[in-house]
Structure 1
């Protein structure tokens, strides 16, 4: 395990929502760089798991910039749909990552499976894999998750991605209806962060 202190860190994502959330969780002493500063496109994510895809990104961006990189791979698993969309969560939004389109597809797939799905509790979870790499070397890779269920309709304009249709356990509001400060203290990214903090 590396004991070196990290003072400069590249966040390996081109997703502005993720960048904002990760920045809010990082210690203030760390100078943060984003992939947009280097005009880097994301690599092909051909891993079979969230952890594999996270590592593909952190190693790729670290090698491209020479900076230590923290990358996230996250998504939504819906039990009723055989854990789909899972690692393909972003891809359900099509080439341009349109999450309104992705959310419509979730509802379409649920309807195909069972016309009365709205009368049931559709269990789901958000999963986040966070990894830190220095060039080709993995420093850490952890997994965080938050359990919940699917809302009958999209609610709320906050957050990003599938936030408007995900209600965490023991809550009544979707992530999309919550204030970011409330969501950031409980979601999958926060759970993963608690595990990776000691490496920073």
Structure 2
């Protein structure tokens, strides 16, 4: 049986960068709501994985709004740092999600773990879990990853989060330097979306 197409959808995030990017991925015929339309604050993310946190957010926002909701949980994993910051990617920026602070923390940890790292290839990947949750309790989750390396300097003002220090495979530019339209067609969120878009 073919899944019923969605005509209205709440994007379950209070992160403006994520809201912008998820909105750009969605079909234009879907009526989009944001959490601000329902004056919703974010739930406590106490899952152990991206998948769990994505589910927590999608379920919370769906139940509060009585809307079908799509929520993302994503982050940066750096191999030599045992895949940190991982699910704590946003939390490394402190209470205000200050990613300048988070990026400084990444560089500080790399300096400590691997002096001279700026002359080496530091493998990393972005990971995204996307969950669509229906008020009935039905849900679907997908995972997307993009591999690359850490830039030895912060570069670019496009994008958000750790974008200025992540260089995807096959590129010399960070996500912070790549045009959003191009980034939206290759990144971890796009890859997760490709696996879930049949419901839209």
**TM-score, length of structure 2 as denominator length:** 0.98
Pair 1:47 & 2:20 matched: no
**Alignment of structure 1 residues 38-187 onto 2, 5 Å:** 38-135=38-135, 137-187=137-187
Q: Report the Cα distance in structure 2 between the residues aligned to 1:74 and 1:12, rounded to whole angstroms.
A: 13
**CA distance 1:154–1:90, shift in 2 (3 Å):** same
Q: Report the Cα distance in structure 2 between the residues aligned to 1:95 and 1:138, rounded to whole angstroms.
A: 32
Residue 115 of structure 1 deviates from its aligned partner by 1.3
Q: Report the Cα distance in structure 2 between the residues aligned to 1:3 and 1:170, rounded to whole angstroms.
A: 36
Residue 36 of structure 1 deviates from its aligned partner by 1.0
CA RMSD of aligned residues (A): 1.1
Q: Aligned residue pairs: how many?
A: 200
Q: Report the Cα distance in structure 1 between the residues aligned to 2:12 and 2:44, rounded to whole angstroms.
A: 13
Q: Report the Cα distance in structure 1 between the residues aligned to 2:140 and 2:73, rounded to whole angstroms.
A: 14
**CA distance 1:65–1:2, shift in 2 (3 Å):** farther
**Structure 1 unmatched ranges of 5 or more:** none
**TM-score, length of structure 1 as denominator length:** 0.98
CA deviation vs aligned residue, 1:97-148 (integer Å, no higher than 9, x gap): 0000000000000011011111210000000000000136242100000000
